[in-house]
Amino acid sequence: MINTNTLTNENIKAVIDRDDKSQLLSVSKWLNILAVTVIFMMFVGALTRLTGSGLSIPEWPLINGSLMYPSSETVWNEVFEIYKQYPQYHIVNKSMSLAEFKVIFFYEYFHRSLTSLVSLFLLISAFFVFKNKKIRKEYKSNIFVMFALLIIQALAGMYMVNSGLEEGMANVSQYRLAIHLVLALIFLSVIVRTSFDIKLKTTKKLSTNFIEGVSKLLLGFCSLLFLQFISGAFVSGTKAGFHFNDWPLMNGSIVPKNLIATEGRYASNILLNFTENIATVQFMHRLLAYIITAYAIWLFFKLKKEKITSFQEKISNTLLVLLSIQIILGISTLIFHVPIVLAAFHQLGAILLFLTSLALLRTFKRNYEKL
């Protein structure tokens, strides 16, 4: 117990700061749990797409009138019949058995259940954060933004699935897939940034050094990675990874034939090459990867010459290691014709790489006054 009579102005401030600090640290802890859950959810999302499971449950939110996982053979047959009414079944899965359907159903059901779990977790935690008067408005508004993003993300998910249920479609639109993936990255980044800022503010040993020039260079690096994320979404959305499976060449040439097509659909809009022509889509993804690698190496040596703290050095070393793994994963995914596990880890690698570069950027962004 603190005897308030003996408190001077100085230690009153210390007590308030300590209270703030412990409150903030608990916010940071639940944000970390939330971040891990969202990363897991994105990983399951990648598996759902890679196993071709995303369109197995055309109805939402109820499935055959219920929220529950099918529990009897009769219900299984009913949900399978629903799936059979949609084009994907007729175009690519006509020979699918009930046992095979159960597998793709499981992935999609699990992905949806995780979304509900994250929403519930965010809702309950936000309730406690909002009730706590010691948590600053700045953090409360960030949580509000997270909610808005989660709702937008769920709507984008439905929008994406609807594109795959339209007549003649066996897969979802690559444009909508890119929107869904990028929104998930933005949602995750807001969570991680908020948590990381709290950590920087409250943990004395995480020392940072504010260097404005470096901050701009890192912003450039994060923007390139963000662009590469969008490019990757188009590679997977157009299934471009199943073509040009040699490396470093593409079907034997540095620049693939038909890189910029000008006939048919492309005659009226040449820019469509960048989102629909698999040669262009994959070429751009490779090219951006090389630019990012060169930029990262240059940045790494530049940082070595700056007065950075050992904490910042650790993050920049991690960044280079993650980038190397990511490039190896990307090339392996390509040359082995997109095996599910490699492709899913390539997506996970992209997420971790982006979050690490965001964290490094934050350490250069401003001077954090420690609590």
Residues binding ligand HEM (CB under 6 A): 46, 50, 181, 225, 228-229, 232-233, 235-236, 241, 247, 285-286, 289, 292, 326-327, 330-331, 333-334, 338, 343, 346-347, 350, 353
Closest CB to ligand HEM among residues 128, 242? 242
Q: Which is nearer to ligand HEM, 25 or 327 (CB)?
A: 327
Residue 19 beta carbon to ligand HEM: minimum distance, rounded to whole angstroms:
41
Q: Are 157 and 115 in contact (CB under 8 A)?
A: yes
Q: Are 88 and 164 in contact (CB under 8 A)?
A: yes
- Which residue has its beta carbon closest to ligand HEM? 232
Give me the least distance between CB of 354 and ligand HEM, in Å please. Answer: 7
Nearer to ligand HEM, 24 or 161 (CB): 161
Instruction: Report which DSSP code applies to 367.
Output: P
Sign of the torsion formed by the C-alpha atoms of 75, 81, 83 and 89: positive
* Residue 134: Cβ-neighbour burial (10 angstroms; 0-12, 13-18, 19+): exposed
DSSP string, 34-93: HHHHHHHHHHHHHHHHHTT-TTS--S-S-BTTBSSPP-SHHHHHHHHHHHHTSHHHHHH-
Q: How far is the CB of 208 from ligand HEM (least distance, A)?
A: 25
Residue 204 CB contacts under 8 Å (≥ 6 apart), including other chains: 370
The least CB distance from residue 350 to ligand HEM, in Å, is 4
Which C-beta is closer to ligand HEM: that of 70 or that of 232?
232
The Cα 230–Cα 354 span in angstroms is: 12
> Which CB atom, from 27 or from 161, has the smaller least distance to ligand HEM?
161
- Smallest separation, CB 25 to ligand HEM (Å): 31
